[in-house]
Amino acid sequence: MIRSCAACGVKNRIPAARLADTGTCGKCKAALPPSAAPIEVADAAEFDAIVRDAKVPVLVDFWASWCGPCRSVAPEVEKAAKQLAGKAVVLKVSTEQLPQLAQRYQVNAIPNFKVFAAGKVTREQAGAVRADVLERLTLG
């Protein structure tokens, strides 16, 4: 995962296990806060590393660009990511780009939310829901 420093613009690599931590820029030493926005997953390897190595719960939003309910719930996912920053990691998985992940986790309807801990699904919720529901789902 790459995060740009707000102070100097340098790109810093953040290990999956540290995505919820406050880090330090390798160049200017400014604080790199935990992500307060959903992270778009690029490939299955990145997904696997994050759900396996994260020290906090990982909320995954399985979605598709053609899905109206997915688009309507996106602002709620963003709100939840902001509220969960430092306490959880929020991922977005496009079922169009990564159908193998949707198949692996038996996602038959979208939007579909799954919470992972230590690489395993611990909770799930199908359908469009508000940010507060996503927060409770994630943190238990």
Question: What is the Cα–Cα distance from 26 to 28, expressed in whole angstroms?
Answer: 6
Does 70 participate in catalysis according to the annotation? yes
CB neighbourhood size of 73 (10 A):
23
CA 26 – CA 45 distance, rounded (Å): 25
The catalytically annotated residue of 8, 25, 28, 67 is 67
| C-alpha distances in Å from residue 48, one per residue of 44, 86, 93, 118 | 6, 20, 12, 11
| Of 5, 8, 28, 70, catalytic | 70
Task: Please indicate whether residue 5 is annotated as part of the active site.
Answer: no
Residues serving a catalytic function are 67, 70
